[in-house]
A = this chain, B = another copy of it.
Amino acid sequence: MKALGQQTSVEYYKCNPEILNDVSAIKRAMREAARLAGATIVTEAFHLFNPHGVSGVVVIAESHLAIHTWPEYGYAAVDLFTCGDDVNSELAFIHLKSELQAVDFTAVEMKRGLLNITEAGRIAHKPAIELAEA
């Protein structure tokens, strides 16, 4: 069965609250996660909330990596949506687990865009693009 993409929704528990509230650290971790996964960053948006918490999204070719943190609960919600066989979201998952210092986690994987394409058909993924500045 051919799917256009794969999405992993991760709950990271018992993370380091200081890191969860550090927008620069979160930004670095997400960018590096995208790089390790083999994804090309198209654009990104990060935000530090009042009184606390960080939200961030890295748009990659055809998909995205997103994070929302709740320092008060030591919890972060992450979505790793990737497309193509050249991008390995598991490497992003491992990197973020380490950077956030998560003790526990759960992960749910979904196929996205599971279309009725025959064996003879090939899914053409969008070509790599040059790295965008923040």
Contacts and interface: CB of A to CB of B under 8 A. Distances in A.
A72 B126 CA distance: 11
B68 A5 contact: yes
Contacts of A110: 9, 108
Nearest to A42: B47
Contact of A11 (B55, B79, B113): B113
Interface residues of A, number: 42
Interface in A8-54: 9, 11, 42-47, 49-51, 53
Interface stretch (A57-65, A86-94, A95-103): A57-65
A113 B73 contact: yes
Given A7-B9, A70-B4, A73-B4, A57 B45 contact: yes
B50 A113 contact: no
B127 A50 contact: yes
Interface of A: 4-5, 7, 9, 11, 42-47, 49-51, 53, 55-57, 59, 61-64, 66, 68, 70, 72-73, 75, 77, 79, 81, 108, 110, 112-115, 124, 126-127, 129
Q: What are the 5 tightest A-B residue pairs by CB atom distance, in nearest-first order?
A: A43-B45, A57-B57, A45-B45, A77-B112, A49-B126
